[in-house]
Amino acid sequence: MLEETQYYFNQAADVLGLSEKVRRILLTPFRVIKVEIITEDDQGQLMHHLGYRIQHNKVRGPMKGGLRFHPTVNEDHAASLASLMTWKTAVVDLPFGGAKGGINCDPTMMSERALHAVTRKFVEQIKEVIGPTLDIPAPDVNTTPKVMGWIMDEYSKYAGFSPGVVTGKPLHLFGSPGREEATGRGLMIVLQEALKDRGQVLSNMTVAMQGFGNVGSHAARLLAAEGAKIVAVGDHKGGVSRADGLPVGDLIDWVQEHRTVQGFPGGNACAGSDVLTWKADVLIPAALGDVLTKDNAHEVQAKIILEGANGPTTPEANEILQKRNVLIIPDILANAGGVTVSYFEWAQNIQQFRWETEQVQKELSKIMRKAYRDVTELAKEKKVDLRTAAFLLGIRRVGQAALSRVHISEDIQF
């Protein structure tokens, strides 16, 4: 995955004409942290995990990015996602850098007590290098507001009361209204803008999506409320479809109880992976990375791909889809709503002040629309696709900030 992020980075770096040395400087993480986590499970057996935090870039502010609890977490994967965070925070113009991390554990096989112990141990190991002005973790795959609450509590043991050390916390523990749905809402806003440009409206759209967790379920709920039909949803266990639109509220209730869309009685069963090539106007990958590959890109029927997940499209698939004139709205633009409301949460925490939901939604909408316009205008000006334009914008903003912080004799242009 690291190679893929670098591939997209290099496409934009080529347009900017950056030298190999400047590319290396921009791609190398500022700091790489790997820690050993030894705890006990409920039966008193030793558990052994590795925790990672890759701090990619801090030129534009404290580093920001999610924590993932998943068996696939490793240094390369986290480094790739950390670099994406640097460009993403710059695309939406937040005063943050990029980081990412996680623990190579499988929470579906662990009790809550065991997960709690692992989370606390991880924070104990990394407490010196995170903090409200240093590096601020957030939720990602399998990390919930509850986990964020544990992180805040553990860090505050060492540093004193510090709600601003982590975002995505429960609402009653200094979380922000609107954070939980923020990534889904951001996806909807960006899609509305893209449809406007194409003379289309959401209420005529059919949507297929992979993943029905935080990102997928909120996106589905909000899109359905605007009249779009969610015709297929797949997850790690299976899929469900319905040509006239799934009843999204009922599906959310089902998933809350059964932890999967599989078996939902309000639609027809399908294979989880089938949704990627389902007949729909819009495809939203909202689960894991690398799901659109050279093997299935030819079969994708959607005309718009809205990347809810991070890194869902491999470079080979990207090329095939571009040639087929499929509009790809890239992750670092499309799913930036989450980090944007995380920024609002952090800003509220450090000011000890609370915003109303309406204010969060209004500000989110402003930022996402502006980012969409910035990226599309740059794409037109440079005659490149939206992904290359988004990387270009991110790299340019980071590069210009870096040059303004120090004296450099070499003539480097962004």
Q: Which residues are known catalytic residues?
A: 100
Alpha carbons 63 and 146: distance in angstroms, whole number? 22
Six-digit token pair at 412?
Answer: 């480097």
Neighbours of 197 (CB within 10 A): 11
Residue 156 C-beta-side C-alpha neighbours within 13 Å: 12
Closest CB to ligand NAD belongs to which residue?
213
Q: Any contact of residue 164 with ligand NAD (CB under 6 A)?
A: no
Map the footprint of ligand NAD across residues 312-351, applying CB under 6 A: 335, 338
- Span from 15-23, 137-145, 379-387, 396-404 in contact with ligand NAD (CB under 6 A): 137-145
Token pair 């990029």 is found at 98
Please pick, from the candidates 309, 320, 329, 368, the single residue that binds ligand NAD as defined by CB under 6 A. Answer: 309
Find the shortest distance in angstroms from Cβ 238 to ligand NAD.
9
- Span from 136-144, 187-195, 222-230, 356-364 in contact with ligand NAD (CB under 6 A): 136-144
Find the shortest distance in angstroms from Cβ 287 to ligand NAD.
3
Find the shortest distance in angstroms from Cβ 8 to ligand NAD.
16
Find the shortest distance in angstroms from Cβ 60 to ligand NAD.
18
Alpha carbons 38 and 118: distance in angstroms, whole number? 8
Please pick, from the candidates 23, 31, 127, 236, the single residue that binds ligand NAD as defined by CB under 6 A. Answer: 236
Q: Any contact of residue 137 with ligand NAD (CB under 6 A)?
A: no
Q: Any contact of residue 286 with ligand NAD (CB under 6 A)?
A: yes
Find the shortest distance in angstroms from Cβ 208 to ligand NAD.
13
Q: Any contact of residue 140 with ligand NAD (CB under 6 A)?
A: yes
CB nearer ligand NAD, residue 39 or residue 80:
80
Six-digit token pair at 59?
Answer: 């030129």
- Span from 57-65, 196-204, 282-290, 389-397 in contact with ligand NAD (CB under 6 A): 282-290
Map the footprint of ligand NAD across residues 30-69, applying CB under 6 A: none
Map the footprint of ligand NAD across residues 188-227, applying CB under 6 A: 210-216
CB nearer ligand NAD, residue 168 or residue 399:
168
CB nearer ligand NAD, residue 262 or residue 388:
262
Residues near ligand NAD (CB under 6 A), total? 24
CB nearer ligand NAD, residue 93 or residue 124:
93
Our measurement of the distance from residue 59's CA atom to the centroid of its chain's CA atoms, rounded to an integer in Å, reads 20
Find the shortest distance in angstroms from Cβ 413 to ligand NAD.
31
Secondary structure, 3-state, the chain = CHHHHHHHHHHHHHHHCCCHHHHHHHHCCCEEEEEEEEEECCCCCEEEEEEEEEEEECCCCCEEEEEEECCCCCHHHHHHHHHHHHHHHHHCCCCCEEEEEEECCCHHHCCHHHHHHHHHHHHHHHCCCCECCCEEEEECCCCCHHHHHHHHHHHHHHHCCCHHHCCCCCHHHCCCCCCCCHHHHHHHHHHHHHHHHCCCCHHHCEEEEECCCHHHHHHHHHHHHCCCEEEEEECCCCEEECCCCCCHHHHHHHHHHHCCCCCCCCCEEECHHHHHHCCCCEEEECCCCCCECCCCHHHCCCCEEECCCCCCECHHHHHHHHHCCCEEECHHHHCCHHHHHHHHHHHHHHHCCCCCHHHHHHHHHHHHHHHHHHHHHHHHHHCCCHHHHHHHHHHHHHHHHHHHHCCCCCCCCC
Q: Any contact of residue 142 with ligand NAD (CB under 6 A)?
A: yes
Please pick, from the candidates 139, 149, 163, 178, the single residue that binds ligand NAD as defined by CB under 6 A. Answer: 139
Find the shortest distance in angstroms from Cβ 331 to ligand NAD.
7
- Span from 19-27, 146-154, 303-311, 376-384 in contact with ligand NAD (CB under 6 A): 303-311
Q: Any contact of residue 287 with ligand NAD (CB under 6 A)?
A: yes
Interface with ligand NAD (CB under 6 A)? 139-142, 183, 210-216, 234-236, 272, 286-288, 308-310, 335, 338
